[in-house]
Amino acid sequence: LGLSGPPGAGKSTFIECFGKMLTERKYKVSVLAVDPSSSTSGGSLLGDKTRMTELSRDMNAYIRPSPTRGTLGGVTRTTNEAILLCEGGGYNVVLVETVGVGQSEFAVADMVDMFILLLPPAGGDELQGIKRGIIEMADLVAVNKADGDLIVPARRIQAEYVSAMKLLRKRSKVWRPKV
């Protein structure tokens, strides 16, 4: 599964919860977390693993943060190979967290079985902020953090994306993207 979304959407938190659910059901889970590299220093924080404390201690999970090192598309130059290595190593589920979202951070969509766009419920003009390119590639749009005071904005953004996705050309004859 490939996961992308804007900063603050809760990608790492979602991955930790989902990953723990999978390991409790006896799946072996691998997480490939991609962090942006600085155009100035070339360094990366590689901090996603620190947000997945429970999953990182799980014996049925493997978390590998990697820097982009200037590679565009939201992944690293070797993400596809890393996915294959994880599958070869016996991991049933491989989750790839991309650097973030924009118009072109969806290279992972061609590397995975399902590409998920994770969105927060409130953030202004969502359809303008997340451009057509990435929406067209999404197999599933998940509105995260949809509880408490955010239930109403979450329902609104869900309705906006359901309408927007009806206007897009279908990528598959058998799957219609869900929101």
**Overall average pLDDT of the 17-30 stretch:** 98
How far apart are the C-alpha atoms of 120 and 108, rounded to whole Å? 20
Tens-place pLDDT, residues 117-127: 998 887 555 55
> Of 3.40.50.150, 3.30.450.40, 3.40.50.300, 1.20.58.100, which CATH number belongs to 15-38+46-100?
3.40.50.300
| 12 compared with 99, residue with greater pLDDT | 12
Residue the block writes with tokens 């109403």:
152
Assess whether pLDDT exceeds 50 at residue 44.
Answer: no
User: How would residue 131 be classed by pLDDT, with cut points 50, 70 and 90?
Assistant: low
At residue 129, the pLDDT reads 47
User: How would residue 43 be classed by pLDDT, with cut points 50, 70 and 90?
Assistant: very low
Burial readout 35-73 (b: 16 or more C-beta within 10 A, e: otherwise)? bbbeeeeeebeeebbebbeebbebebbbbebbbbeebeb
Domain ranges of the chain: 15-38+46-100, 114-168
How far apart are the C-alpha atoms of 111 and 96, rounded to whole Å? 9
| 108 compared with 41, residue with greater pLDDT | 108
Tens-place pLDDT, residues 77-106: 788 899 999 999 999 999 999 876 654 566
| Whole-structure pTM value | 0.84
**Overall average pLDDT of the 98-117 stretch:** 77
